Structure 1
């Protein structure tokens, strides 16, 4: 039986907009001052996660799914996705703003890129003073208005910009324009896809003087021009209890503040469960096995492993992610 808590080696990505917080705040092993992303669990082609602990150390995620199938991911998930892992789990540090961008839905992504679409969510772990996120339009828009502002480099006049703080959550469905602003460190949960339509990149150049590619035409029929009154996701938090933040067809994410000991029972789930530690330090205990998770670390609990205990000496916080 597959009853191990599985940790993976982070896949670290240098980015033109990256900084040093993944190293200084989340203990990622890098000397880079342009570290933008830590891919915690990935089945993206060319970036498959490799196990870093226990009896499975050195095996990659694809091997695990082929070997353990539903025992790893759950019957329903395996029937739907086969040997592909459906989620990509990241930590992101923006020293300077990311490009303004959006992601295509499943239909467009399949037709154009033979990929899943990219619905995602953000949980803000730390934000500098006045740091912000761009999410959606201020008011309903259309192609004509959008193109006028894009060409005039005045997109911010019609986009929604929110100052953010620790604990803020944003759900980003496909088609919604968005960008992470300078000074934000966050956890990102998304479909397994690396398809991004970049629409504006602040006219910045890389070290060789090159501009990054824009996807103006591809983006046009992928954009959702609808505005909503409030883009933040409100949720409740109760100590030692899982509280739902986001639930969509692609993933469900709960927040779990913990202090002391807590018994976990996942008999009601037909899915793997991922835990991201966003603050503090938590021990995962099953029989004679103990795995410690500190802020910035992630663990995959196989679908077969239904019951275990969590322990935390100090108040800590986990994100709990699975598929309904």
Structure 2
């Protein structure tokens, strides 16, 4: 085959969503409360579909099950990663995710959820909730029961270009006015700790998962300082943000012409800005902002030309 797999994303409406996915990426979104673009996904709750080549019309899940050779024969029972773009038009709930062991036991075999965020854009005074102040489980429970949210939750300012690594067990929330590319384990398990007592269109509050949250939260909070490593070579600046248990994530800033060797079983790529051309074995593919694609195992070398910025990940 030796072809990249370009993908049609799936969009998810959320109480906190907005129109940034249409405004910034020109996506055809289902409503003015669209919170998530599941850009590269093999998760049953929203599967991306291939739009080019011999596998056009196939979902990532189908390819994972029927053509594992495209992914270097990787042994995970499910496609292991999920790339999203999130439009936090309002504050997300304060939440925490379980690890693999807990999720397998309590969530029907679902993977746990370690994730990371690249801040694409945000309001000038934007912030996020990352971690908590409790020193012990007893203190954590007491502060939740007494509604001491301002004292419990740690807030950090954010700016475009920031990167955050969010292991399972970390209390977190994106806040109003942030647009984020998220790379995560392929999981849709979220435990809500606090949702600002807000109500949906029917006047109902959303379900909270206090007991499970208490069971899975890391106490005390552990900081995850990201130390990006930047490498410059002909035509491209490669920033490695994180190399962790479940994924490695990079930013590629291409300026001109760059050649690449595929040294992973497969790679996931999202074009965040600019435009250019991807060349694979004499074939050219147009790249523009909002494109998402997989470079499968049988692509050994490739070239990118143009002025563009991509977020790239692999297992």
The TM-score normalised by the length of structure 1 is 0.91
Over residues 118-151 of structure 1, what are the superposed CA-to-partner deviations in whole Å (9 max), with x where a residue is unaligned?
A: 00000000011111111112x4522222222222
Structure having the higher strand fraction is 2
Rounded to whole Å, the distance in 1 between the matches of 2:294 and 2:267 is 6
Q: In the alignment, which residue of structure 1 is the partner of 2:50?
A: 51
| Count of residue pairs brought into register by the alignment | 311
Counterpart mapping for 1:251-262 below 5 A:
251-262=247-258
Q: In the alignment, which residue of structure 2 is the partner of 1:153?
A: 147
Q: In the alignment, which residue of structure 1 is the partner of 2:24?
A: 25
Q: In the alignment, which residue of structure 1 is the partner of 2:210?
A: 216
Q: Decide whether aligned partners of structure 1 residues 96 and 156 sit closer, same or farther in structure 2, where only a CA change above 3 A counts.
A: same
Rounded to whole Å, the distance in 2 between the matches of 1:121 and 1:99 is 17
Please say if residues 17 and 87 of structure 2, whose CA atoms lie closer than 8 Å, have aligned partners that are also in contact.
yes
1:130 matched to 2:128? The reply is no
Rounded to whole Å, the distance in 1 between the matches of 2:145 and 2:291 is 41
Over residues 48-95 of structure 1, what are the superposed CA-to-partner deviations in whole Å (9 max), with x where a residue is unaligned?
A: 2211223321111122223321x31123x2x2x14x200111000001
Please say if residues 42 and 82 of structure 2, whose CA atoms lie closer than 8 Å, have aligned partners that are also in contact.
yes
Rounded to whole Å, the distance in 2 between the matches of 1:254 and 1:235 is 9
Please say if residues 285 and 310 of structure 1, whose CA atoms lie closer than 8 Å, have aligned partners that are also in contact.
yes
User: Which structure 1 segments of 5+ residues have no match?
Assistant: none
Please say if residues 169 and 232 of structure 1, whose CA atoms lie closer than 8 Å, have aligned partners that are also in contact.
no
Rounded to whole Å, the distance in 2 between the matches of 1:173 and 1:287 is 38
Q: In the alignment, which residue of structure 2 is the partner of 1:120?
A: 115
Partner of 2:8, secondary structure, is coil
Q: In the alignment, which residue of structure 1 is the partner of 2:70?
A: 72
Please say if residues 267 and 313 of structure 2, whose CA atoms lie closer than 8 Å, have aligned partners that are also in contact.
yes
The TM-score normalised by the length of structure 2 is 0.94
1:202 matched to 2:196? The reply is yes
Rounded to whole Å, the distance in 2 between the matches of 1:221 and 1:244 is 32
Q: In the alignment, which residue of structure 2 is the partner of 1:35?
A: 34
How far does residue 231 in structure 1 lie from its aligned partner after superposition?
Answer: 4.7
Q: In the alignment, which residue of structure 2 is the partner of 1:193?
A: 187
Q: Give the RMSD, CA atoms, in angstroms.
A: 1.6
Rounded to whole Å, the distance in 2 between the matches of 1:102 and 1:222 is 8
Rounded to whole Å, the distance in 1 between the matches of 2:10 and 2:172 is 24
Partner of 1:101, secondary structure, is strand
Please say if residues 274 and 322 of structure 1, whose CA atoms lie closer than 8 Å, have aligned partners that are also in contact.
yes
Please say if residues 104 and 110 of structure 2, whose CA atoms lie closer than 8 Å, have aligned partners that are also in contact.
yes
How far does residue 320 in structure 1 lie from its aligned partner after superposition?
Answer: 1.5
Q: In the alignment, which residue of structure 2 is the partner of 1:233?
A: 226
Rounded to whole Å, the distance in 2 between the matches of 1:156 and 1:291 is 50
Aligned counterpart for 1:293 among listed residues 276, 282, 287: 287
Runs of 4+ displaced beyond 6 Å = none
- Residue range with higher mean Cα deviation, 252-261 or 49-58: 49-58
How far does residue 214 in structure 1 lie from its aligned partner after superposition?
Answer: 0.3
Rounded to whole Å, the distance in 2 between the matches of 1:128 and 1:243 is 24
Rounded to whole Å, the distance in 2 between the matches of 1:322 and 1:224 is 26
Q: Decide whether aligned partners of structure 1 residues 62 and 301 sit closer, same or farther in structure 2, where only a CA change above 3 A counts.
A: same
Q: In the alignment, which residue of structure 2 is the partner of 1:62?
A: 61
Rounded to whole Å, the distance in 2 between the matches of 1:231 and 1:252 is 15
Q: Decide whether aligned partners of structure 1 residues 281 and 238 sit closer, same or farther in structure 2, where only a CA change above 3 A counts.
A: farther
